[in-house]
């Protein structure tokens, strides 16, 4: 029966994701119908076509180019980033047994941003495209490790959240320093725009860059499910059930770092997805951390895609940044959550 409910929930999320994908592909300067999009997706595109030839080709081929080369990468990236952030949020909440844990709130995203900004600042990204995601992931891992150490020293949720605030302030300060010392105004603009978080104007190269890391992160986090369930019992009883806390912490930290690092590397800082999505789905998954993981990933993809779509509909002529929009929606939600679960927060 639990299996059936899981199938129903995840199936529902998957269907809405597919619908949103098609819907999202129809939106843009050139309005397309769903039929156009589906036709274009499965249209055999012309080989080795340069953009200069665009005018000369027939409508079907042109649509194919627009949909697969321009719009599809954005949509796919939205799915990867949304799923990464939401699943790492769900896993962190399970590990720290705290509904307020979130990569953004706990400074993991900020640290990943710092890693990426340093890469941009020193121009390392031009040496190899892999340096940016790797440095983002490494700094995400370091900050998650610090958090886990804090979580171990003190069982109080408050300490942990304060530690997260400390970490994000530290990362923010260093990022400001990098902006402050940036050699040219263009560098400043690069860094600032990148920090706001966006999945606009991305290509399949970006997807290639983040997908392997994100997939590795997904696999690692999904493998923690049952152990996270057992952690509901408390650390001692979980250990008595055969859970190795050291290994579980290591797995969640590595998985979170991979996921957050990969998504920050291609999309910049996008906050609150990891907080909002697991919270909305927790009741539907019976408050079981293992069941929450997959559902959160799907839900995160749906939410990010929806946010990106709304943003594209709203912003005509100017480009709203996705990270700004999610923060605008997420921050009030977080305050509401704090108010509602005040007892839990200070427990």
Partner 1 sequence: MSRLDIRHVSVKRGDRHLVNDISLRISGGTLFGLIGPNGAGKSSLLRAVAQLLPHTGQCHLGAQLLEQASAHWRAKRLGYLAQSGELAWPMAVRDFVGLGRMPHKRSGWWLTRRPGMRDVKACPVPEHDDEAVNLALAQTGLSSLAQRPLNQLSGGEQARVRLARALAVSADVLLADEPCASLDPFHQLSVMELLLSQSRQGKVVVVVLHDLTLASRFCDQLLLLHEGAAVATGEPRQVLTPDNLQRVYQLQAIHGEFRDQPYIVPWQSSHADSTGGHPVNQSINEPINKSGVCLQEEIPVQ
How many residues at the interface with partner 1, by CB under 8 A?
A: 28
Which is nearer to partner 1, 201 or 237 (by Cβ)?
237
What's the closest the beta carbon of residue 243 comes to partner 1, in angstroms?
A: 8
Which is nearer to partner 1, 51 or 242 (by Cβ)?
242
- Tokens representing 191 are 């860094």
Q: Is 284 in the site for partner 1 (CB under 8 A)?
A: no
- Tokens representing 84 are 């990464």
27 SS3 class? coil
Among 11, 123, 212, 286, binds partner 1 (CB under 8 A): 286
Radius of gyration for the alpha carbons in the chain, expressed in angstroms and rounded: 21
Among 9, 83, 231, 297, binds partner 1 (CB under 8 A): 231
What's the closest the beta carbon of residue 85 comes to partner 1, in angstroms?
A: 21
What's the closest the beta carbon of residue 331 comes to partner 1, in angstroms?
A: 24
152 SS3 class? helix
Q: Is 233 in the site for partner 1 (CB under 8 A)?
A: yes
Which is nearer to partner 1, 10 or 239 (by Cβ)?
239
**Please, how many CA atoms are within 13 Å of residue 76, restricted to the half-sphere of its CB?**
18
* Contact region with partner 1 (CB under 8 A), list: 28-36, 59-67, 121-129, 236-244: 236-244
- Tokens representing 257 are 């770092």
Q: Is 106 in the site for partner 1 (CB under 8 A)?
A: no
Identify the residue whose tokens are 């769903």.
Answer: 34
Instruction: Categorise residue 292: left if φ over 0, alpha if ψ from -120 to 50, beta otherwise.
Output: alpha
Which is nearer to partner 1, 94 or 261 (by Cβ)?
94
CA distance 81 to 304: 8
**Please, how many CA atoms are within 13 Å of residue 55, restricted to the half-sphere of its CB?**
1
Among 108, 112, 230, 262, binds partner 1 (CB under 8 A): 230
CA distance 130 to 119: 11
What's the closest the beta carbon of residue 148 comes to partner 1, in angstroms?
A: 16
320 in Cβ contact with 314 (< 8 Å): yes
Site string for partner 1, 193-222 (x = CB under 8 A): --------------------------x--x
- Tokens representing 98 are 């705290």
Q: Which residues bind partner 1 (CB under 8 A)?
A: 97-98, 219, 222-223, 225-227, 229-234, 236-237, 239-244, 282, 286-289, 347
């Amino acid at each position: 029966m639990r299996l059936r409910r899981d199938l129903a929930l995840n199936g529902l999320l998957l269907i809405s994701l597919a619908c949103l994908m098609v819907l999202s592909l129809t939106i843009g300067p050139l309005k397309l119908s769903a039929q156009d999009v589906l036709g274009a997706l499965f249209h055999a595109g012309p080989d080795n076509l340069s953009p200069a030839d665009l005018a000369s080709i027939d409508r079907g081929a042109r649509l194919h180019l627009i949909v697969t080369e321009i719009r599809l990468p954005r949509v796919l990236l939205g799915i990867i980033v949304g799923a990464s952030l939401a699943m790492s949020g769900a896993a962190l909440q399970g590990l720290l047994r705290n509904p307020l844990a979130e990569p953004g709130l706990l400074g993991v995203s900020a640290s990943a941003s710092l890693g990426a900004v340093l890469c941009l600042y020193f121009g390392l990204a031009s040496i190899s495209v892999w340096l940016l995601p790797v440095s983002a992931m490494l700094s995400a891992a370091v900050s998650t490790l610090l958090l886990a150490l804090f979580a171990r020293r003190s069982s109080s949720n408050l300490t942990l959240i304060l530690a997260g605030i400390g970490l994000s302030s530290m990362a923010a300060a260093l990022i400001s320093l990098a902006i402050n010392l940036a050699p040219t105004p263009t560098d400043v603009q690069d860094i600032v725009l990148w920090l706001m978080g966006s999945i606009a104007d991305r290509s399949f190269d970006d997807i290639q860059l983040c997908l392997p890391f994100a997939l590795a992160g997904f696999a690692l986090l999904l493998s923690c499910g049952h152990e996270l369930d057992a952690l509901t019992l408390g650390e001692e009883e979980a250990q008595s059930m055969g859970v190795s806390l050291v290994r579980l912490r290591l797995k969640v930290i590595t998985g979170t770092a991979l996921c957050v690092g990969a998504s920050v590397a291609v999309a910049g800082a996008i906050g609150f997805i990891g907080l909002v999505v697991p919270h909305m789905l927790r009741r539907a998954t019976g408050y079981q951390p293992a069941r929450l993981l997959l559902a959160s990933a799907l839900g995160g993809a749906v939410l990010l895609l929806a946010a990106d779509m709304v943003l594209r509909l709203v912003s005509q002529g100017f480009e709203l940044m996705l990270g700004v929009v999610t923060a605008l929606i997420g921050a009030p939600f977080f305050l509401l959550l704090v108010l509602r679960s005040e007892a839990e927060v200070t427990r």
